[in-house]
Structure formats: C-alpha cells, structure tokens
Structure 1
Amino acid sequence: MSRFQIAIDGPAGAGKSTVARLVAKQLGLTYVDTGAMYRGIAWRALKENISISHEDALSALAKETQFQLENEGIRINGQWLNEELRTPQVSQLASAIAKMAKVRQALVSKQQEIARYQNVVMDGRDIGTHVLPHANIKVFLTASIEKRAHRRFLELQAKGLSVNEKTLQEEIRKRDENDRKRKHSPLRKAEDAILIDTTEQSIPEVVEKILELCRTKVGGGE
C-alpha cells in the first residue's frame, strides 16, 4: 500500500523541526527528525571516542544504531535523548558527519525504510531531492539569516545560555554555505517543492499552509 509522505526541507533555523512536528501531530503521522539521527550518531561518537577522521567506523556506528522516533523526541538504542543532542559540541560534529557519504547512505536507508511502512512527515535538507523524491507534498522553508539567528538566540536565552546574536548569524551563514556546497546531497529546493518564507510568518500560519496543501492533495484539488 502506498504511504503518504510529506518532505520539509530548508536551512538551519527556518523552523523545519517545529513545523514538521506540529503537522505530523495534526495529521496523526509519524514525525521523522533526520537531523536528530545525525546528532545521535555524533553523540554516540563522542561517548565512544570515535574520531571524525574514521569515516568507516562512523558508518558502522550509523548502521548498527537503532532509532525509535516519536513526536516529542528520539530514542537511540533504547535511550531517550533530547537536550543531550543540542549541545554545541554535538551540533558541530553532526554537521561534519553529515558530509560523509557512507554515513549518509546508512542513515538515508533507515529513513527510507521508516517511510516505506509508515505515513511520515520528514524534515531535513535533502528529503525532497534525495531521501523521498516521490513524496506527496514537498515544502522548502526559508527565512532571513537575521530572523533565523534571532529565533535561535531567544531559544538559547530561554535555556539560560549566554550567546551573542551576531555570532549566531555568522554561524548560520557558514552552516548555510557548508550545506549548499557539500558534495553529497547538498541543500537545495526540489523543483516541485512549494517555497514558504517564514521570516514574517508565525509557526501556526506556516503549519496551516502545509495542512491546506495536504487537504488540496488528498481532495484532488490540484
């Protein structure tokens, strides 16, 4: 039986995870946070002292890691993780690991396997172009660097962390460049994806736009 798939792509800080999680909850679909999967491998690599230079070891780690995805977070080999995956150290390592072809191949295979048996909302940077190229709905979220940095600033500030907003802007600018220029599955909008700029839109407004796209698709209004 064909499964319903929603692919949500976009750069860091565009609101992908928040929007995807809410859309999945509204529709009763499985939310697949692909970024958390890469962060999970980074977290395990740090725990097990696996060097970033050992791609084969990291690939083997990705292949044998078991993921249980839930709307509120992720379990990795049975262990519930959330904030542990959001530390600067894990984020930096995850960004480097995401460039590795063998690691991406292992995780993409797992992501596609999930989508084969469940109706999903999946977010990332190459979902519509590479992971789920035949998704029923494809959305590309974007926003200005300034807006994305400010959102991240407020998020970290709420957690009691002292951060510089200008520094966050530069970090996001570099992350965008790395994501777009990486050799394997770079960040880009799929030709058939709907572009939504979230700079001046609230999360509920963006979620409603995607739900309307789904209603149109299911209702045959295209």
Structure 2
Amino acid sequence: MKKITIAIDGYSSTGKSTVAKQLADWLEYIYVDTGAMYRALTLYSMENSLIADGFFDKESLIKKLDDIEIAFTRNTDSGKAEVTLNGKNVEKHIRTLEVSTFVSPIATVSEVRAKLVEQQQKMGASKGIVMDGRDIGTVVFPDAELKIFMTASAEERAKRRYQELLDRGDTVNYKAVLANVVERDHIDTTRADSPLVQADDAIVIDNTHTNVSDQFHTILQLAKDRIAGRI
C-alpha cells in the first residue's frame, strides 16, 4: 500500500493533535506534533530568561538555535510520542498556560520557523507521516496528498482548553483562557512569516459541534480515499 503525507493545520485547541495521533496510530504512520516543537523552544526561552512579560531577547534566541535539540521519544507505558528538549522530557512542562502565552511570539521569528521547518521536512521525506501545526499544508508540505484545515468557535476552543488545564490540576480561569485563544488567533493569522491560512486545496473541518469519534472517522475516510487514489 502506498504511503502519503497528511498535513493538518488550523487554529489552536481545535483538536489537531488528537486526530493526527489517531490517524497515525490507525495508519501506522509517524506522527509529528509541530506545535510541541515551538512550545519546547518557548520553554527553553523562558528557562533561559529570553522571554517574559514585555520582554523578548529575539537576537539571543536566534544565536542559540544551533544549541537547541528537539526530538520525540516514545513513552513505553502509554505508547505515545513525547517531546524532549536537549535530552530532557518536557512533555508536561510545555502544556501550561504560561507557555501558551509566549509561544506565538516565538513562532513569529523567521529564523525559528526556518530551523524547525527544515527539521520537519526531513522527518517527512519518506512519507507515511501525519503532521499538524499552523503552516504544514502551505509551507512545510505544500505537495501533501491530504490537507485538512480545522476550525471551531473561539468560545468552544477556550472551553476545551480550560477543561484540559483543570484536568491537569492547573489553577486557571475561563476568561484568561479565552483571552489567550483570541490573542493567539490574532498573532497566528497576522504574522508576516508563514501566517495561519487555509491552503487552497485543504478540506475544512469545523468541529464546533462535532464529537471526536465522528471527526476521526470522517478524516480517516478522506485519508483512505487519498491512499486508494479515489479523490
């Protein structure tokens, strides 16, 4: 059976990673969470005092890019891929609201995007990959056989993110989460370098009122059809 490249783009908290992982597991493809790569760089910047409220030492971050190693390792208990930063597992640390607050400014840096896009394209050179992010179908894999663009209302996405953070034990309030979602949407769609846009040949999935199971089966069928060459 031939293998294809599946690119899943869309707004924050639309469940891109969830469905990408499901597809990768079902198809036995490699899954790459590009958002986790940007979050890891953000965590590095925070830990090294390169970014904080009202402060961002962009030039120092650019100089340190070659010293930052981001990789994925498989958790032997859960079977899921988790991100490592310079050899340290940081999967839990990169999912906080604080990291979410600073990740979009990090992602606007052209040198950062170029560095990570280069790594992402190497990962997908042999196809058989599912990758999600903001510019996968437009920049990283413009020739992907299947492109999905996911969206949902800001309010619904904030509710999901809020519940996720509560389930982790974080102390947050819904208004702060909603404000973060709206701010990230603005930054992601207006940045000069690789803004979040829908690829012309992407299939739009609005999951404001769709459950995870139905969404997965819809996208899985699209993938099966592309693999079979039917669409």
**TM-score normalised by the chain length of structure 2:** 0.88
Amino acid of the structure 2 residue aligned with 1:65: I
Deviates more, 1:57-66 or 1:24-33: 57-66
Counterpart-to-counterpart distance in 2, 1:42 and 1:130: 21
> Given that residues 62 and 107 in structure 1 are in contact (C-alpha distance below 8 angstroms), is that contact kept between their aligned partners in structure 2?
no
2:121 maps to what in 1?
112
2:140 maps to what in 1?
131
Any unmatched runs of 5+ in structure 1?
none
2:41 maps to what in 1?
41
> Given that residues 9 and 128 in structure 1 are in contact (C-alpha distance below 8 angstroms), is that contact kept between their aligned partners in structure 2?
yes
- Kindly report which structure 2 residues correspond to 1:46-195, keeping only aligned pairs within 5 A, or say none: 46-51=46-51, 53-69=56-72, 70=74, 71-195=80-204
> Given that residues 55 and 103 in structure 1 are in contact (C-alpha distance below 8 angstroms), is that contact kept between their aligned partners in structure 2?
no
Amino acid of the structure 1 residue aligned with 2:70: F
Counterpart-to-counterpart distance in 2, 1:63 and 1:110: 12
2:77 maps to what in 1?
none
Deviation at 1:60, TM superposition (A): 3.7
1:188 is paired with a residue whose SS is coil
Deviation at 1:4, TM superposition (A): 2.1
1:81-115 deviation digits (Å, cap 9, x = unpaired): 21111123322222111001111111111111111
> Given that residues 151 and 208 in structure 2 are in contact (C-alpha distance below 8 angstroms), is that contact kept between their aligned partners in structure 1?
yes
1:143-181 deviation digits (Å, cap 9, x = unpaired): 111111111121112122332223322221121111111
Task: Detail structure 1 runs of 4+ shifted over 6 Å in the superposition.
Answer: none
1:20-43 deviation digits (Å, cap 9, x = unpaired): 111111111111111111111111
Amino acid of the structure 1 residue aligned with 2:62: S
Counterpart-to-counterpart distance in 1, 2:162 and 2:70: 29
Deviation at 1:53, TM superposition (A): 3.7
Identity %: 38
Deviation at 1:78, TM superposition (A): 2.0
1:16 maps to what in 2?
16
Deviation at 1:118, TM superposition (A): 5.0
Deviates more, 1:193-202 or 1:57-66: 57-66
**TM-score normalised by the chain length of structure 1:** 0.92
Deviates more, 1:173-182 or 1:57-66: 57-66
1:13-65 deviation digits (Å, cap 9, x = unpaired): 11111111111111111111111111111112222333564334323433332
Amino acid of the structure 2 residue aligned with 1:20: A
CA RMSD in angstroms comes to 1.8
